[in-house]
Structure 1
Amino acid sequence: MLPETFKHTIHGVHGENGDVWIRGLPDRLAGWEEKYGIKIGNFYPMTFHFVAEVTLYGGEEAVIKAGLPADKELINEKNALAVFGKGTGMIKLLEDHTDEGFLLLEKAVPGTILSDSMKDEKAVAAAAGVMEEIRADDWDSKHFPHLSDWFKGLERAEDIPERYIKKASVVVKELLSEMHHPTLLHGDLHQNNILSHHGVWKAIDPKGVIGEKEFETAVFCRNYLFDKHHPFAVLQNRLSLFEKAAGLNLDKMIRWGYCGAVLSACWCKEDHMPCADENLKLADLYEKLL
C-alpha cells in the first residue's frame, strides 16, 4: 500500500496526471519486475517519487526510484549522477530507465542517515567533506538548470507577503551578478540525503543545479532547525561551522539562505504543501544576519 501522504503530495504537485500515475503504479511496477527480472521490496520514505528496495536479476541489492513519465527532476537527477559519479561522494547510478520513468541506484549500506548519527559539529564536517567529494569540473557537458532558473519561482509566488518577495528578488539579483565561478551543485544536500556507505558518507538524490557553493548550505541549515530550543543560535553556529570546515563565504551563505528560504516558501505554496510558514520563519532569522 502506498502511503496516503505520498498520494496527497503527488496530487498536489501533478494534479489529475498524478492521480492517474498513482492508480497505474502497481501494474507498472509488476511490469518492470517481469521485464527486467527485478524484485521490488520494502518501501523507503517517499515525497515526490516512489522509492523502494529492489533485488536485481543477479541478486544485487539496489534501490528503485520512479516518477511520472518525462519527469524532468528524474532526468535531471540521472544527468547529475552521471557527472558526480566520477567522484567518490555520491551513490552510483546503476541503470537508467528514465524513458520508462525509473532509475536503478546503488544501495547505501548500512544507509544510516547523517541526522541520526551525530551532533551539528560533526554533521557539518561530514557534509562539508561530501560537498568537496561531489564537486564536478565537467558539468557543462550536460544541460542543467541554473539558480537563475530556480529563482524565477519568486515571480510565481502566491500568498507570500510581498516584502519577502521584494527583498529576495533584490538580493538574488545581486548574488547572481556576483557569481563568477559557478559549478554543478547537488542542490538538496540536507542531513537526510547523506547516508553511510561502507564506512564513508555518500550523498543521494541530487537535483543538479548550476550555482555557487555557498548556496549548497541553505537546505542543510534549514533542516532540524525549529525542533531546537534556540533556532537562531543553532543557525548561526551551523553557518560558522560551514565557514570554517568548507572555507565558504559567510555573507554569501546568509544571503543565499534568505533567498532560498523565501523560494522554498513559494514552492510550498505552489505544491500545496504546509511548509511555507516555517520557511518564512527561517527567512526572518536570516534577515537578522543580513
Structure 2
Amino acid sequence: MMSLSEKIGNAKGDKRMHTLPQTFCDTITHLHSHKGQKWLTDFPQLIRYCEQRWHITIHSHFPLSYHFVAPARKADGSELVVKFFIEPSELLHEFVEELNLSKKRILLWGYAHSVLATCWLIEDRQDAASFLRAIEAFQHLFEYY
C-alpha cells in the first residue's frame, strides 16, 4: 500500500501537504483491515470537512502511532490540537483498559469536565460553543453505553 498524499486546500487557495507515513498506514490497515483502508482513502475529505465545519486550519501532524494527531488553528488565531481515530468508542476502550475504570465513570468524568470548562468560558465571556457540543456528545455516548 502506498502512503496517502494529497494536496488539501482551504477556501483561500492555501495548499498544504498532508502525507501520512507508510508505517502509520500499515498500522491502520493491519488493525482495522478494510475499514482502516476506507478511512485512509477518505482521510483527505475528512480533513477538508473538519476544516470547513469548524473553521480551522489543520497543520502537519505530530509523530503518529494509532491516531492522527495534529496542531490546528482557529479562524480567530487561537490554537488547538485535533485527534482523528477510526472508532469513537476505541478511545473509550483504551481508557477503560489502561485506567481500570468503568465506561460509565469515564463518560461522567468527561461530561463533568466539559460542563466545568463551559462554565469557566462563559464566566470569562469567551465562546463556549465547542464545549457545549462536547457536553452533547458525552450525553449521547452515555445513553449509548
CA distance in 2, matches of 1:81, 1:56: 26
Offset from partner CA, 1:130-176 (integer Å, 9 cap, x none):
xxxxxxxxxxxx59x9xxxxxxxxxxxxxxxxxxxxxxxxxxxxxxx
1:4-42 per-position Cα deviation (integer Å, ceiling 9, x unaligned): 111111111100110110011011101211121110012
Q: Which residue of 2 aligns with 1:35?
A: 53
**Aligned 1:109-120 pairs, distance under 5 A:** none
Q: Deviation at 1:80?
A: 7.2
**Deviation readout 1:162-221 (Å, 9 max, x if unpaired):** xxxxxxxxxxxxxxxxxxxxxxxxxxxxxxxxxxxxxxxxxxxxxxxxxxxxxxxxxxxx
1:66 is aligned to 84
Q: Map 1:127-206; keep pairs closer than 5 Å.
A: none
Q: Partners of 1:85 and 1:34 in 2: how far apart?
A: 26
1:56 counterpart (56, 64, 74): 74
**Distance across 2 between alignment mates of 1:80 and 1:59:** 31
CA distance in 2, matches of 1:8, 1:34: 28
Check 1:57–1:75 CA distance in 2 against 1; reply closer, same or farther (3 A cut). farther
> Is 1:22 the equivalent of 2:40?
yes
Structure 2: which amino acid aligns with 1:82? G
2: CA distance, partners of 1:72 / 1:45: 22
Counterpart CA distance in 2 for 1:17 and 1:66 is 14
Q: Distance in 2 between matches of 1:43 and 1:65?
A: 10
For 2:21 and 2:27, the matched residues in 1 are separated by: 10
**RCO comparison, higher one (Cα < 8 Å, 6+):** 1
What is the CA–CA distance in structure 2 between the aligned matches of 1:49 and 1:79, rounded to whole Å?
Answer: 20
Distance in structure 1 (CA, Å) of the matches to 2:74 and 2:37 = 28
- Give the SS at the match of 1:53: strand
Shift of 1:45: 1.4
Distance 1:22 1:59, change over 3 A: same
**Residues 33 and 79 of structure 1, relative CA distance in 2, 3 Å threshold:** same
**Which of 82, 85, 96 is matched with 2:113 structurally?**
85
With structure 1 as the length reference, what TM-score do the two structures score?
0.28
Which runs of 5 or more structure 2 residues have no equivalent in the other structure? 1-18, 96-105, 117-129
Distance 1:11 1:80, change over 3 A: farther
Between Structure 1 and Structure 2, how many residues are aligned? 94
> Offset at 1:85?
3.5
- Runs of at least 5 residues in structure 1 that lack an aligned partner in the other structure: 88-92, 100-141, 146-290
Give percent identity, aligned residues only. Answer: 26
Query: Whole-Å Cα distance in 1 between the matches of residues 28 and 83 of structure 2?
Result: 14
In 2: Cα distance, 1:80 partner to 1:3 partner:
35
